Chains A and B, each alone.
Chain A
């Protein structure tokens, strides 16, 4: 490089940093001041940022663009060393492969480059340089140099990686030099194309003379087609590369006429470089004529590259000189002034106006526009490689639509995150106008949500188009539709979290970032929660799919999604009250406390969910340590389940839900639910034990009446796994879980909650029935329907006794003892063999249910004296 050009290279450093900073500041929204503050404190941070971006680009270009070429080299070398293979036959597939790699490199560079230099193409960076004594020609080169500096590490990697790797592998200097030449030509060509395309796009975004609907549409379609062309082309090329590898095997035995090879090798850019490279691997194997044609082909490529470079330089003039830009503007304004401007204002509803504003803003600014485009392209990015993949992933599964469904749902959280990040930051430029308008934050939030929701909806259902011809289309449609509430849930939760964490809530434009402190932590939490919501739904769906098939899964995701959506809509109404200023003061806790039955239902749903949680936590653990002895697994399961239950009933219900009596300290709570030992502890223990004895005697006698009772201590003292019952002595530990937590749940919390509103008799009956019905949950783990039905009946009856114990003694101690002993020691008495199902039912209802309950209630009535209220 000459000294003059070196000077330009140095100058370009400042324009480049300016671009990086501009992009940073723009994307930070109203948070700009803080970003500037950061720059003030750490002057190097722009440079670090610019450098980090370069390294990332370089890595992507290296892995995507260069490395695949190397594998082709090995394949070629392998074939060339095989004497059976005619060298000439390798030229066509090899040439095609290298041509594809060239195009791939071009596409990747354009894709990355457009993001990188989008900011620069507005030309603002160069305004100041124009005032300096620099010739127009030098300004143009400066522009080119700036783009180059923005990507330099990537470009240098692309130029050097291929020859260096080839040299290291082959230790052939000639080959490495050829490789170097080829990469230089390719990279220069691709780079010039990048500049041309970026120039085109910037002129589309900038020189829009009017905000008319037509102009907006044209903008959107042009941008869309650029993106679609680039993305689909790169996928097509991927596919070509995969296919061409098979091509080698087909071609290697064929005798290709020399003339075809000569013509191919003359085609610049596409094939000539590949030809030259392959021939340099074994120079003596190819005829001189082929050498001449290949070299001329490469010469032509150099010429083409040079002319493209000149064109790119000319395009730069557009950017670097404001004269041309203003010329365009004035010409466009002239066009307008030909007809008189008529001011016609048509007010719409605030929500519509908001959506229109956001749409026209986003289609005029490349950064935000990406946030609209990406959700529309992403489905195809994910689906196309699978649909056209030659390996035929699709064939190996019978239910194709479930694969597609799983894939499409997989990136939904990503789209929600992307949309909320992109669209909740848009108000910065109009800050003062917005702040002076009488906006209702609810309208603003609604407008944003409608826009985001439509984009995500389109993005979500778009892939279905591909499957319309599929005979199974209805299944596709149904599977997509059933997950739709979950998609909206993901978006709405993301939206609310973003505003709760960053937004200003009380006044003004809520969706602006207002509290940017601890940004990283907040984002971490947001994304983790978002992913957890997603995992919860898909895990639940997956389990249901495994055990009950797809329709169960779809029903569950649909209704689960609706439920979650309902909760989120409620919290949306609280965040954005209908009457501004007057906030909705209804709290969910209050609703639960005022309507105990509603609260009970919610508690039970929560409880059921938590019952499945231990399995979820343990699953990966058990998969890794599958050889652990059973007793260890049992203990792990016990501790996890016990911990989860403690978390639910001692923390979540107490603090988050504030049940049964509002937020309490642990001490108060323990007293409320009757866990605290009181003065009558001796009597309470006596009651628990004597009720248990009544129960044992009852089932012992009735067992002998209705069936044949077998006395076997092994039931409760055997070793886990080898005993007749699975648990053996472990039952004494395991029974602690239902013994304690079911009592806390149904007696301590739910009964206390319902006693706030209903009479003791009502509560006793209702909660007993609920307690019994709750045992239907055993169906989900695969228990027999009839047996579970019987269990529901006797559990309701026993529930009555347990509830009576609690209400009378106001302590949980007796019912916990009874429940624990029934579940543990009671096993000893339930080893009964029946002749018929009728006997079993009679035993269960009379022996297990009615007799112990009635006798127990009588005992309690005798022992506990009614305290004066």
Chain B
């Protein structure tokens, strides 16, 4: 297999009972690119990510991450992957200090290098003052910051981010983008899921638009615009067109306007 391919997914299927959460998707993520999974809520983005990490077992299809199979070599894969989950489910009863120590111990990281790195990240994201406070007492955004730092502490080759920017302030979003850029420049790869089009448009080199467990469009921005048959439109329209929501959304917006104007 090509050395440049970090993630290779083919004909992946995952069903929960009758629900076809992921229904036969295929894509590749190469070194040095930011790949976006874009889709409405319930499109199957998070399920796909969990399958990639080996947290779920696929019903059908194959996954290769850095040429390894997540079902067998999960420990090797995880030691080279950083993961930020959708909800900041981090140990509420630990402090960031405890948490980083825990992660460094499990990952067997170098103490000096990691300390320096953690200090830098905490400072640049403005989270240093929370270093010794219980995670439970932190705000959503600050939890998210801690989680992002946890995921990049070991300088991973591949970053898998599930809605990483939700709840972050503008400055932190900029910092995270910067971190991603540096990561890419150093030859890493990023898989990124979001339902916010602007972020995807802004950050991703290639995008897969998911809807109801399938990829309905894949490629660079330009490719997608062509596929949408609406040259020159912004990605929001492309997104809505691809997920066949443009009609229904317009109706909802109309209704909302009406209900507000009736009341006033």
B partners with A: yes
Residues of A within 8 A of B (CB): 208-212, 329, 333, 336-337, 341-350, 352-354, 356-357, 360-361, 364-365, 429-433, 435-440, 507-508, 580-581
Q: Check B132 against A345 for contact (C-beta < 8 Å).
A: no
The residue of chain B having its C-beta at the shortest distance from the C-beta of A334 within the complex is B129
Q: Check B94 against A437 for contact (C-beta < 8 Å).
A: no
Contacts A347-B105, A360-B93; A432 near B134 (Cβ below 8 A): no
Q: Check A507 against B55 for contact (C-beta < 8 Å).
A: yes
Smallest CB–CB gap between A333 and chain B, Å? 6
Please tell me which one of the listed residues B98, B111, B119 contacts residue A211 in the complex, with CB atoms under 8 A apart: B98
The residue of chain A having its C-beta at the shortest distance from the C-beta of B50 within the complex is A435
Give Cα A333–Cα B75 distance, bound, in whole angstroms: 38
Q: Check A345 against B89 for contact (C-beta < 8 Å).
A: no
Smallest CB–CB gap between B136 and chain A, Å? 8
> Which chain A positions have C-beta within 8 A of B89?
429-433
> Which chain A positions have C-beta within 8 A of B99?
433
Contacts A346-B101, A347-B101, A353-B106; A436 near B129 (Cβ below 8 A): no
> Which chain B positions have C-beta within 8 A of A210?
95, 132-133
Q: Does B186 contact A (CB under 8 A)?
A: no
The residue of chain B having its C-beta at the shortest distance from the C-beta of A504 within the complex is B55
Kindly identify, within residues 67 to 96 of chain B, every residue whose CB is under 8 Å from any CB belonging to chain A: 71-79, 81-85, 87-95
Smallest CB–CB gap between A510 and chain B, Å? 12
Q: Does B175 contact A (CB under 8 A)?
A: no
Smallest CB–CB gap between B205 and chain A, Å? 23
Give Cα A430–Cα B87 distance, bound, in whole angstroms: 11
Q: Does B104 contact A (CB under 8 A)?
A: yes
> Which chain B positions have C-beta within 8 A of A439?
75, 78, 106
Q: Type the 1/0 row for B93-125, where 1 means its CB is closer than 8 Å to any CB of A.
A: 111011111111111111100110011001000
Count of A-B residue pairs with CB < 8 Å: 150
Smallest CB–CB gap between B96 and chain A, Å? 9
Q: Check B53 against A361 for contact (C-beta < 8 Å).
A: no
Q: Does B194 contact A (CB under 8 A)?
A: no
Q: Check B90 against A432 for contact (C-beta < 8 Å).
A: yes
> Which chain B positions have C-beta within 8 A of A349?
105
Q: Does B27 contact A (CB under 8 A)?
A: no
The residue of chain A having its C-beta at the shortest distance from the C-beta of B82 within the complex is A436
Q: Check B109 against A341 for contact (C-beta < 8 Å).
A: no
Given contacts A341-B131, A507-B54, 8 further A-B contacts (CB under 8 A): A210-B133, A211-B94, A361-B91, A361-B94, A432-B85, A433-B150, A438-B107, A440-B75
Q: Check B107 against A343 for contact (C-beta < 8 Å).
A: no
Kindly identify, within residues 145 to 181 of chain B, every residue whose CB is under 8 Å from any CB belonging to chain A: 147, 150-151
Give Cα A344–Cα B122 distance, bound, in whole angstroms: 12
Q: Does B184 contact A (CB under 8 A)?
A: no
Residue in A208, A365, A431, A437 whose Cβ sees the most chain B Cβ within 10 Å:
A437
> Which chain A positions have C-beta within 8 A of B53?
435-436
Q: Check A347 against B108 for contact (C-beta < 8 Å).
A: yes
Q: Check A333 against B133 for contact (C-beta < 8 Å).
A: yes
Q: Does B137 contact A (CB under 8 A)?
A: yes
Q: Does B204 contact A (CB under 8 A)?
A: no
Contacts A433-B150, A435-B55; A343 near B105 (Cβ below 8 A): no
Give Cα A439–Cα B77 distance, bound, in whole angstroms: 11
Contacts A361-B93, A361-B94, A432-B147; A345 near B100 (Cβ below 8 A): yes
Residue in B88, B110, B131, B132 whose Cβ sees the most chain A Cβ within 10 Å:
B132
Give Cα A430–Cα B91 distance, bound, in whole angstroms: 4
Q: Check A436 against B83 for contact (C-beta < 8 Å).
A: yes
> Which chain A positions have C-beta within 8 A of B82?
436
> Which chain A positions have C-beta within 8 A of B74?
438, 507-508, 580-581
Give Cα A201–Cα B166 distance, bound, in whole angstroms: 35
Q: Check A435 against B83 for contact (C-beta < 8 Å).
A: yes
Give Cα A342–Cα B151 distance, bound, in whole angstroms: 20
> Which chain B positions have C-beta within 8 A of A432?
83-85, 87-90, 147
Smallest CB–CB gap between A334 and chain B, Å? 10
Q: Check A438 against B115 for contact (C-beta < 8 Å).
A: no
Listed A/B pairs (18) with beta-carbon separation below 8 Å: A210-B132, A211-B95, A211-B98, A343-B131, A345-B100, A346-B101, A347-B104, A347-B111, A357-B91, A430-B94, A431-B89, A432-B90, A433-B91, A435-B85, A436-B85, A438-B79, A440-B75, A507-B71
Q: Check B93 against A437 for contact (C-beta < 8 Å).
A: no
> Which chain A positions have C-beta within 8 A of B98?
211, 356-357, 360
> Which chain A positions have C-beta within 8 A of B108?
347, 350
Q: Check A345 against B85 for contact (C-beta < 8 Å).
A: no
Q: Check A430 against B75 for contact (C-beta < 8 Å).
A: no
Q: Check B92 against A345 for contact (C-beta < 8 Å).
A: no
Give Cα A336–Cα B96 distance, bound, in whole angstroms: 14
Contacts A429-B93, A430-B89; A343 near B102 (Cβ below 8 A): no
> Which chain A positions have C-beta within 8 A of B71?
507
The residue of chain B having its C-beta at the shortest distance from the C-beta of A349 within the complex is B105
Q: Check A430 against B131 for contact (C-beta < 8 Å).
A: no
Q: Does B128 contact A (CB under 8 A)?
A: yes
> Which chain B positions have C-beta within 8 A of A345?
100-101, 104, 109, 111, 114-115, 118
Smallest CB–CB gap between B108 and chain A, Å? 6
Please tell me which one of the listed residues B97, B103, B130 contacts residue A437 in the complex, with CB atoms under 8 A apart: B103
- Which 7 A-B residue pairings sit nearest by Cβ, starting from the closest? A353-B105, A432-B85, A436-B83, A438-B79, A430-B91, A438-B78, A343-B119
Q: Check B118 against A343 for contact (C-beta < 8 Å).
A: yes
Q: Check B78 against A437 for contact (C-beta < 8 Å).
A: yes
> Which chain B positions have C-beta within 8 A of A365?
93
Give Cα A344–Cα B128 distance, bound, in whole angstroms: 12
The residue of chain B having its C-beta at the shortest distance from the C-beta of A443 within the complex is B106
> Which chain B positions have C-beta within 8 A of A208?
134
Residue in A350, A354, A432 whose Cβ sees the most chain B Cβ within 10 Å:
A432
Q: Check B132 against A433 for contact (C-beta < 8 Å).
A: no
Q: Check A364 against B93 for contact (C-beta < 8 Å).
A: yes
Please tell me which one of the listed residues A212, A347, A354, A436 contacts residue B109 in the complex, with CB atoms under 8 A apart: A347
Residue in A329, A347, A581 whose Cβ sees the most chain B Cβ within 10 Å:
A347
Q: Check B102 against A341 for contact (C-beta < 8 Å).
A: no
Give Cα A343–Cα B54 distance, bound, in whole angstroms: 32
The residue of chain B having its C-beta at the shortest distance from the C-beta of A435 within the complex is B55
Q: Check B100 against A341 for contact (C-beta < 8 Å).
A: no
Q: Check B118 against A437 for contact (C-beta < 8 Å).
A: no
> Which chain B positions have C-beta within 8 A of A337?
129
Please tell me which one of the listed residues B55, B87, B109, B118 contacts residue A508 in the complex, with CB atoms under 8 A apart: B55
> Which chain B positions have C-beta within 8 A of A333?
129-130, 133
> Which chain A positions have C-beta within 8 A of B129?
333, 336-337, 341
Smallest CB–CB gap between A435 and chain B, Å? 5
> Which chain B positions have C-beta within 8 A of A353?
101-102, 105-106
Smallest CB–CB gap between A348 and chain B, Å? 5
Give Cα A336–Cα B115 distance, bound, in whole angstroms: 19
Q: Check A436 against B81 for contact (C-beta < 8 Å).
A: yes
The residue of chain B having its C-beta at the shortest distance from the C-beta of A582 within the complex is B72
> Which chain B positions have C-beta within 8 A of A352?
105
> Which chain B positions have C-beta within 8 A of A364?
93, 134
Q: Check B91 against A329 for contact (C-beta < 8 Å).
A: no
Residue in A208, A341, A342 whose Cβ sees the most chain B Cβ within 10 Å:
A341
Please tell me which one of the listed residues B72, B85, B133 contacts residue A581 in the complex, with CB atoms under 8 A apart: B72
> Which chain B positions have C-beta within 8 A of A350?
105-106, 108
The residue of chain A having its C-beta at the shortest distance from the C-beta of B56 within the complex is A507
Give Cα A329–Cα B130 distance, bound, in whole angstroms: 11
Please tell me which one of the listed residues A342, A357, A440 contacts residue B94 in the complex, with CB atoms under 8 A apart: A357
Q: Check A433 against B101 for contact (C-beta < 8 Å).
A: no
Smallest CB–CB gap between A367 and chain B, Å? 11
Contacts A350-B105, A581-B72; A211 near B83 (Cβ below 8 A): no
Smallest CB–CB gap between B98 and chain A, Å? 5
> Which chain B positions have C-beta within 8 A of A212?
132
Give Cα A347–Cα B119 distance, bound, in whole angstroms: 15
> Which chain B positions have C-beta within 8 A of A507?
54-55, 71, 74
Give Cα A350–Cα B103 distance, bound, in whole angstroms: 9
Give Cα A336–Cα B108 distance, bound, in whole angstroms: 29
Give Cα A352–Cα B108 distance, bound, in whole angstroms: 12
> Which chain A positions have C-beta within 8 A of B76?
438
The residue of chain A having its C-beta at the shortest distance from the C-beta of B119 within the complex is A343
